[in-house]
Copies of this chain bind each other. A is one copy, B any other.
Amino acid sequence: MSEIPGREEIIVAHKKIAGYIHRTPVHTSKSLNELTGADLYFKCENMQRGGAFKARGAFNACLSLTKEELAKGVATHSSGNHATALSLAAKSLGTVAHIVMPSNSKKIKVNSVIAFGGNITFCEPNLQARESTLRKVIEQTGAVFIPPYDDYRIIQGQATAAKELLEEVPNLSNIIAPVGGGGLLAGTALSTHYFSNNATTYAAEPTGADDAYRSLQTGSIVPSVNPKTIADGLLTSLGEKNFPIIKQFVNSIITVEESEIISAMLLIWERLKIIVEPSSATVLAAVLKRKDLFAGKKTGLILSGGNVDLEEYFRT
């Protein structure tokens, strides 16, 4: 498969994964509507299995393998939610996930991979070490590499979150998703294109990791170098398969400051009474920053995940 995923492929992916993922709820808040002047619909992927949208892509990728491939296991390198999601998918499908994790990965991420039966190999915390260690693991095990975002099966899977949101609230004017590697954003943009009534897709990105913003400005992928943001799901560079989709189907990327992300996160915690991770909060921060774009409009916000290390924030 080398073409941009079509409408039918996303429908098929959704049917394939439906029995394995949660159809997450859509929440609303009068007080956040008043605060933003918009009509907001929050798609709660923080309540997805494994605590993030990543389960959608991971299941779709694993379910696209042959029985023989699946039996050999799957593998990836990740320090974040993709590691958890792939471990979960592998366990649910009766196989094993080999996860290469940098030695400085957060304890909460390591623990959740372990909880889902993932087989961890630690490596030095740099991309070279991650890739060479992964190659070794794959050589030894014969496992199939499942990339975190630069993959059409992953993009199709992530697209199902916006598809569900549009099934619930069909007449949205805008949809906004965070952008890191671009799996969720590319999927969201495709679903918005195929399943909405001409809605516009926006993205939110931390100023401290604004490689996607700069990539759209310059027209070619600008790598993410030394990104600095509390939104730890949004540190990576855009994928090569993701960028053309984003270029074609995303209206614009709104960048937000760290303080805006933290304020928006606490607002979501306080008003919606749900836990989201900083990456998720970028979308509300963007709506608050650009009220002019969203005022009076039905707007869908993809809350990407809720895997926060609470002990980091919590003062006892």
Contacts and interface: CB of A to CB of B under 8 A. Distances in A.
A273 interface: yes
Interface string A13-34: 0000000000001000001000
Contact of A315 (B31, B44, B313): B313
Interface in A242-300: 262, 266, 269-270, 273-276
A310 interface: yes
A316 interface: yes
Give the one of A31, A44, A262, A306 with max B CB within 10 A: A306
Size range of the chain A interface in the assembly: 20 to 34
A268 to B, nearest CB: 9
Contact of A275 (B44, B115, B269, B311): B269
Nearest to A258: B316
| Chain copies in the assembled complex | 2
Give the one of A51, A266, A270, A310 with max B CB within 10 A: A270
Contacts of A266: 310-311, 314
A46 interface: yes
A273 B275 contact: yes
A58 to B, nearest CB: 17
Nearest to A31: B115
A154 interface: no
B274 A273 contact: yes
Interface in A187-202: none
A21 to B, nearest CB: 14
Nearest to A315: B315
Contacts of A46: 273
A281 to B, nearest CB: 13
